[in-house]
Amino acid sequence: RTMGILPSWAWLLLPVCQALVVPREVTGQVGQLISFRCWYPRGYEGHSKYWCRGPSQDSCSKVVETAGWEVPQHQGRVSIQDNHIFCVVLLTLKNLSEEDAGSYWCGVDRPGWDLMAPVTVRVVPG
């Protein structure tokens, strides 16, 4: 069975506004830019979204946060943008370095336990 190239609109077929969904792994080259999406369930549009870095949910430190707005937020080489219509958060990491490799988490702020899902970032030489 071969997998064809997905048309550009195919990402719309992902479980939009249903669950917290992230790619398992993202790979980028040193010096390049990578970006990846995190979909979240309907009802959390006004909640803060964030990316944090660390080996586990309870030991990760926030890299960048939306504060519940759709306006892009920047923290150094990292930016985050929330799209309330498609319930998706976009994280962009510019000028990738080998130190950027590791475990990241997409988080949605909520009372009690935050919704969180892990993404592994791999960095390959340029």
pLDDT, tens digit, for every residue of 31-76? 999 999 999 999 999 999 999 999 999 899 999 999 888 899 999 9
Cα–Cα distance measured from residue 125 to residue 119, given in angstroms and rounded to the nearest whole number: 20
Give residue-wise pLDDT tens across range 93-114.
999 999 999 999 999 999 999 9
Q: Give the CA distances from residue 39 to residues 28, 29, 123, in Å, rounded to whole numbers and listed in that order.
A: 21, 24, 23
* 9 has pLDDT over 60: no
Six-digit token string for 90? 């976009």
* 6 has pLDDT over 60: no
Residue 14 has a pLDDT of 55
Six-digit token string for 94? 């510019």
Six-digit token string for 6? 């997905």
Q: Are 67 and 80 in contact (CB under 8 A)?
A: no
The pTM for the full model equals 0.84
Domain extents in the chain: 17-124
* 125 has pLDDT over 50: yes
The separation between CA 83 and the C-alpha centre of its own chain, rounded to angstroms, equals 12
Residue 1 has a pLDDT of 45
CATH of the domain spanning 17-124: 2.60.40.10
Q: What is the mean pLDDT of residues 28-33?
A: 96
Residue 126 has a pLDDT of 82
The SS3 of residue 99 is: helix
